[in-house]
Amino acid sequence: MATINKNYKKLQGGYLFTEIAKRTKDFMEKNPKVKIMRLGIGDTTRPLSPAVIKGLSKEVKKLSNEKTYTGYGDTEGNKKLRMALSLFYKKRNVDLNLQEIFISDGAKSDLANIQSIFGPGNVVAIADPVYPAYLDSTVIFGRTGEFVNGKYKGLVYMECNEENGFVPSPPKQKADIIYLCNPNNPTGSVATKKQLKAFVDYALKNKAVIIFDATYVEYISDETLPKSIYEIEGAKKCSIEINSFSKWAGFTGVRVGWTIIPMDLLVEKNKLNSLWARRQGCMFNGASNVAQEGALAVMSPAGIKENKNTIAYYMKNASIIRNGLSKIGLKVFGGEHAPYLWVKTPNNLSSWEFFNKLLNEAHVVGTPGSGFGSKGEGYVRLTAFGNRKDVEEAVKSIEENLKL
Ligand code: PLP
C-alpha cells in the first residue's frame, strides 16, 4: 500500500497570496471604477537587456540547424558559463574551480532540494521573517515537528527586528543547517562582513552548514558590504552559496541560477560537493541550453552594464517609495540594498489591517509582513519592481489619501 509523505500535512496552506488576491478582487468588484495600484509585485517587470536577447537568439538559431544543434548538456552546466562565473567571483577575491559551480534552473529549487544531502536529524535555523521556501522545504523533508501557536516545533527561528536592523544573530542553541537570505526578502536588510563572520564562526565551531541565498546581492550599492559569503574567511569550510540570474537580469521566466559547493566543505569527512553532484546526476538534467547562453550574455561587458541600469531603475523606484512614505511620517526600512521596502504599520495596526487600509484608502496593494513569519507582524512589504509611472502614481495616492 502506498502511503504519503505526512510532512505535507504539516504545511500551512499557501494562504498569503490567495488571500491578497481574494481581498483585492472583492474590493475591485465593490469599486469597479477605481484603479488598483500594485506595490506587492515580487517579480521583475523590465524587458531583458539587448545583449541577453542577442545571446538567447544566437542559441535558438543554432538549434534550427542540424550542424549546430545541441541536446543534453553537462548536468553541472555549460562550461563557458561556469568559467565566466569563476572569473566573476575572482573579481571579488574568491577563487573557485569549475567543479565547485553547479548551474541550475534558478535558486528556489536548489534552496529546497539541497536538504536532500543532509541527514534526518539535522536542526534547521531560519530567519523570521524570511522568504518562505526555506521553511516549507524544511517541513517537507521532515526536519520540523508540528505547527503549534504559530511556530514549528524543532525549528530554530532567528528573530529579525528593528533593534537588530532586521539582521539576525547566530542562534543561541544548536543548529546544523542555517539559511541566510542576504539581502533579505522581505525586510530589504543586508549584513555587514562582521555580521556574516559571526555566522561563519558559529558554523565552524558547531560543525554547521550555512546555506547562503545571495539572490539579491547585485542590488547592494555599498561596495564595502560583502556580496558573497566566501568573502568571509573560513566560509569555504562551512558554506553553500546559491544564486540566480532571476533578479539580477530578469530571468524569473528564463530560469538560470547557480549553486556553489566548495571542495573544502566536509561533513562527517564527506565532501558535500560529491553528494550534490550525485544528487544532480540522478534528479536533474541540466538547465536549458538556450537559457544558459542568455546567462552567459548577462556576464558579458554589455550585459553587466545593461543590467546595472535595470537594477538602478528598480532602485530609483525604491527611493521614490521610501521618500514618499517617509515624508508622510511612515517608518520605512530597506530599499537601499534590495528592491524591498519594509514599512512599519502606523498606530499598531496589524499587517492585515494596514493592508486593508492601503487598499481601501489609497487603492494600493502591498504584502502583509505577517505572511513571512510571526515577526513580520506589524509590517507590510512593498516592492520596487513596478513600472516607474505606476510607482509614482501609487506613492502619490498614498501621500494624498492615506489617513494617518
Ligand atoms: N530567493 C529569494 C530570497 C527570493 O526572493 C526568490 C524569489 O523571489 C528566490 C530565491 C527564487 O529565485 P529563482 O527565481 O532563481 O528561483
Mean pLDDT over residues 166-191, rounded? 97
Q: Quick one: 319 and 279 in the same domain? A: no
Same-domain pairing of 29 and 138: no
Q: What pLDDT sits at residue 224?
A: 96
DSSP SS3 for 342: strand
pLDDT-above-70 percentage for the chain = 100
Q: How many residues make up the chain in this entry?
A: 404
In angstroms, the CA 53 to CA 297 distance is 8
* 123 inside domain: yes
Q: DSSP characters for 236-261?
A: GGTEEEEEESHHHHSTTTT--EEEE-
pLDDT at 15 over 90: no
Whole-number Å distance, alpha carbon 241 to ligand 1 midpoint, is 13
Residue-level pLDDT at 191: 98
Assigned domain for 51 exists: no
Whole-angstrom distance, CA of residue 114 vs CA of residue 190:
23
Determine the residue of 131, 166, 218, 241 to mutate for testing ligand 1's pocket, defined as the one with the most ligand atoms within 8 A of the Cβ atom: 131
The answer to whether residues 108 and 140 touch, using CB atoms and an 8 Å cutoff, is: no
Asked if residue 322 and residue 262 are part of one domain, the reply reads: no
Cis upstream peptide for 129 (omega within 30°): yes
Determine the pLDDT at residue 189: 98
Task: Reply yes or no on whether the pLDDT at 168 is more than 90.
Answer: yes
- Asked if residue 235 and residue 317 are part of one domain, the reply reads no
For residue 6, being part of any structural domain is answered with no
In a domain, 342, yes or no: yes
Do 121 and 164 lie in one domain? The reply is yes
**Cβ neighbours of residue 70 closer than 8 Å, sequence gap 6 or more:** 62, 63, 289
Which of 281, 300, 319 is the endpoint of a domain? 300
User: How confident is the prediction for the chain on average, in pLDDT?
Assistant: 97
288 and 323 fall within a common domain: no
Q: How close is the Cα of 160 to the center of ligand 1, in Å?
A: 19
**246: Cβ below 6 Å to ligand 1?**
yes
Ligand 1: distance of its center to the CA of 243 in Å?
8
- Write the residue with the smallest CA distance to atom 8 of ligand 1: 42
- Is residue 189 in some structural domain? yes
Domain span holding position 179: 70-300
Report whether pLDDT(57) > 80.
yes
What cell was used for 125? 535555523
All three cell numbers of 335, joined, read 530599499
Residue 90 pLDDT: 96
Q: What is the pLDDT of residue 170?
A: 98
367 forms beta bridges with 381
> What's the CA gap between 215 and 106, in Å, rounded?
10
Rg (CA), the chain: 22
Are 178 and 224 members of one domain? yes
Sign of CA dihedral 65, 66, 68, 70: positive
pLDDT score of 14 more than 90: no
Q: Does any domain span residue 63?
A: no
Residue 108 alpha carbon, nearest atom of ligand 1: 16
* Residue 391 · residue 320 · CB < 8 Å: yes
- CATH code of the domain covering residue 276: 3.40.640.10
Residue type, 376: G
Do 293 and 326 share a domain, yes or no?
Answer: no
Query: Domain holding 365: CATH number?
Result: 3.90.1150.10
The residue from 251, 269, 300 where one domain ends is 300
pLDDT(229) > 80: yes
Same domain, yes or no: 286 and 317: no
Whether residue 83 lies inside any domain: the answer is yes
Domain boundary among 273, 300, 327: 300
Structural domains in the chain (count): 2
- Determine if ligand 1 sits within 6 Å of the CB of residue 215: yes
pLDDT for residue 85 is more than 90: yes
Q: How many helices (H) and strands (E) does the chain have?
A: 13, 17
Taking the centre of ligand 1 as the mean of its atom positions, its distance from the CA of residue 264, in whole angstroms, is 26
pLDDT at 351 exceeding the cut of 80: yes
In sequence order, the 6+-apart residues with CB closer than 8 A to the CB of 323 are: none
* Distance between CA atoms of residues 206 and 219, nearest Å: 31
CA 65 to chain centre: 37
Tens digit of each residue's pLDDT (9 = 90 or more) over 262-282 = 999 999 999 999 999 999 999
Confidence of residue 13 (pLDDT cuts 50, 70, 90): confident
Mean pLDDT of 309-330: 98
**pLDDT above 90 for 295:** yes
Q: Give the integer Cα–Cα distance in Å for 378 and 370.
A: 7
The percent of residues in the chain predicted with pLDDT above 90, rounded, is 97
297 alpha carbon, distance to own chain's centre: 22
The pTM score is 0.97
User: Is residue 44 in contact with ligand 1, taking CB distance under 6 Å?
Assistant: no
Mean pLDDT in residue range 290-305: 98
Other CB atoms within a 10 A radius of the CB of residue 342 amount to 27
Would the CB of 381 count as within 6 Å of ligand 1?
A: no
Identify whether residues 243 and 272 lie together within a single domain: yes
**Measured between alpha carbons, how far is 306 from 49 in angstroms, rounded to an integer?**
6
Rounded CA separation 67/101 (Å):
29
Position 51 scores a pLDDT of 98
Q: Where are the beta strands (DSSP E) in 105-228?
A: 124-128, 147-148, 151-152, 156-159, 177-181, 209-213
What is the C-alpha to C-alpha distance for residues 242 and 103, in angstroms, rounded to an integer? 10
Q: Is a pLDDT exceeding 90 seen at residue 103? A: yes
21 and 160 housed in the same domain: no
291, part of any domain: yes
Is any atom of ligand 1 closer than 6 Å to the C-beta of 171?
no
pLDDT in tens, 231-257: 999 999 999 999 999 999 999 999 999
Mean pLDDT of 339-362: 98
My answer on whether 269 and 163 are in the same domain is: yes
- Strands (E) in 66-112, as ranges, are 101-104
